[in-house]
Amino acid sequence: MDPRQQELAARIAGRRGAVRGPFRVWLHSAEMCERAESLGAFARFDCSLPPHLRELTLLMAARNWDAQYSWNAHVHQAVEAGIPEAAVKAIAEKREAVFDNDADQVFYQFCREVLEDHFVGDETFAAALAHFGAKSLVDTIGALGNFTMLGMCLNTFQVDLQPDREPPFPDVRGYGRTAPDTDRSRP
């Protein structure tokens, strides 16, 4: 690594414990790496969302992009932060997740519409805005965008799964699908 890459690697390792996953790829472009790390740190640690919803955005984007490494790196953190295991399993299996908390259900629906439909319905938007406010919705879009870029990077550069983890999705092995997409229609 050149001096700039070494500096970034040291900063990343200091903040995140090590240089792994996407950062090993992004370091090939020091400027991209610095910006991606900054946005990722904001989305993970500093945005206005509570920790459990930060983790939920990560899982939803990871599943949307079939990013197994990202999922495996955060699934336990999401459960520890308060995402119900049944909801995590439903997301992994591309089924409708159900939350006991109304705000969490609205948040899930908002993210789901963004990722799957590419638009958010008026009713969903109004409910999310009422629960979270404009700042948190902007932070949600930033987090989803960051975690989407993360998934794209991991899959494109075929970042290996962690050696102690199993593939998390029933329809993905390696870097491809084993079965056609399941029906995503809503009830």
Instruction: Output the CA angle 58-184-120, nearest 5 degrees.
Output: 60
Domain boundaries, the chain: 1-46, 49-177
Residue 144 CB partners (closer than 8 Å, separation 6+) = 57, 60, 61, 111, 114, 115
Residue 179 CB partners (closer than 8 Å, separation 6+) = 170, 171
- How many CB atoms neighbour CB 46 within 10 A? 10
Residue range 131-170, pLDDT digits in tens: 999 999 999 999 999 999 999 999 999 988 888 888 899 8
Per-residue model confidence (pLDDT) at position 15: 84
Class of the CATH domain delimited by 49-177: mainly alpha
Per-residue model confidence (pLDDT) at position 179: 63
Q: Which among 117, 156, 120, 131 has a CA at the least distance from the CA of 50?
A: 131
Per-residue model confidence (pLDDT) at position 185: 40
Amino acid letter for position 145: G
Structure-block tokens of residue 22: 């996407």
The H-or-E segment that residue 177 falls in is strand 176-177
Rounded CA separation 148/132 (Å): 21
Number of H helices, E strands in the chain: 8, 2
Per-residue model confidence (pLDDT) at position 181: 55
Between the CA of residue 161 and those of 66, 69, 97, 104, 136, what are the distances in Å? 12, 5, 25, 29, 31
pTM above 0.85, yes or no: yes
